[in-house]
Amino acid sequence: MPEGPEIHRAASKIRNALEGKTIEDIEVTLPRYMDRSNEFLDKTVLKVEARGKAMLIHFDTFVLYSHNQLYGRWTVNRRATEAKKWNRSLRIALSTKTHTCRLWSATDILMLEPWEVSGHQYIAKLGPDVVIEETTTEELIEHMNQKRFQRKRLKTLLLDQGFFAGIGNYLRSEVLFTAKLHPDRTVSSLDEDEKTRLAEKALFLSRQSYKVPGITVDLELYEQLRDIGLSRGQARHWVFTRNDRPCHQCGELILHTRPGGRRLDYCPTCQS
Ligand SMILES: [Zn+2]
């Protein structure tokens, strides 16, 4: 499933294609909304934004909400380009004079009234978004200090979009490694320095992997690793998918676990 940085990058592409532009052609294949497709026509897109893992496309009278879950995908093409043939089904295609944005295979798609957005069950539960520049370290610490999080383990909380919105599987492992925290630690066991590290690393890594797609290691280290022949996939992370290989910091072998069936890798020495 894509994580915050990937969703925000998709939003930025869609924003460039749609924001301030008029919809000149529309295709809706969702039975629920087929008879409302003309509501898109000749309307201007006011704003495109990602919230957690959801995409919001704002028109003046409604907001198109979509959450990609496992299989959903947005594509953006020049309008003249034919839609690619692949094993995904088209849900919605929005065309401006120059571009077509298509949403494929997603099942969670809604046309919301503008006032319904903040109360939508997914949006309302989201914690602070770690990818957007407005979120601060202090805001994350204040949020994690809430009573409901205290007894929970970091390995569970870091996949909970109500804790830090935008963190997913690879970021969970990478944030815990760079914050030097064992995945089994609870929030209540963290001292002030550890909370600060957790918040700072969550922001730093999410923003770096937004700007430099999916790379969480120091960029200098990344270049060195590429220079000695490692592939992008082998060089991009500190610990994630690096199980049984030596830690870049201490040389200890990285361990692999699967809490809740989702991969989590960590260094037993740096994160003791
Ligand atoms: Zn280590």
Domain-wise residue ranges, the chain: 4-125, 137-266
With H, G, I as helix, E, B as strand and everything else as coil, classify residue 226.
Answer: helix
Distance 169 CA to ligand 1 centre (A): 19
Catalytic status, residue 113 = no
Distance 182 CA to ligand 1 centre (A): 11
Catalytic status, residue 128 = no
Distance CA(54)–CA(109), nearest Å, equals 10
Q: What is the pLDDT of residues 224-252, one digit of tens each?
A: 999 999 999 999 999 999 999 999 999 99
The DSSP element (H or E) to which 155 belongs, if any, is helix 154-157
- Report angle CA 18, 23, 29 to the nearest 5 degrees: 100
pLDDT at position 174: 98
CATH topology of domain 137-266: Helicase, Ruva Protein; domain 3 (1.10.8)
Catalytic residue among 15, 53, 102, 185: 53
Catalytic residue among 3, 6, 49, 174: 3
Name which of 201, 159, 196, 153 is nearest 177 in CA terms. Answer: 201
Could you confirm whether domain 4-125 is CATH 3.20.190.10? yes
Distance CA(122)–CA(99), nearest Å, equals 29
Catalytic status, residue 13 = no
Distance 172 CA to ligand 1 centre (A): 16
Catalytic status, residue 3 = yes
Residues 6+ apart with CB under 8 A from 38: 26
Strands 99-104 and 90-95: antiparallel
Q: Which residue in this structure is represented by tokens 């949403």?
A: 103
Distance 186 CA to ligand 1 centre (A): 21
pLDDT at position 83: 83
Name which of 133, 127, 180, 188 is nearest 158 in CA terms. Answer: 127
pTM for the predicted model, two decimal places? 0.89
**Residue 1's pLDDT band (cuts 50, 70, 90):** low
More confident residue, 2 or 66: 66
Please say whether the dihedral angle defined by the alpha carbons of residues 105, 111, 114 and 119, taken in this order, is positive or negative. Answer: negative
Q: What is the pLDDT of residues 106-136, one digit of tens each?
A: 989 999 999 999 999 999 999 999 999 999 9
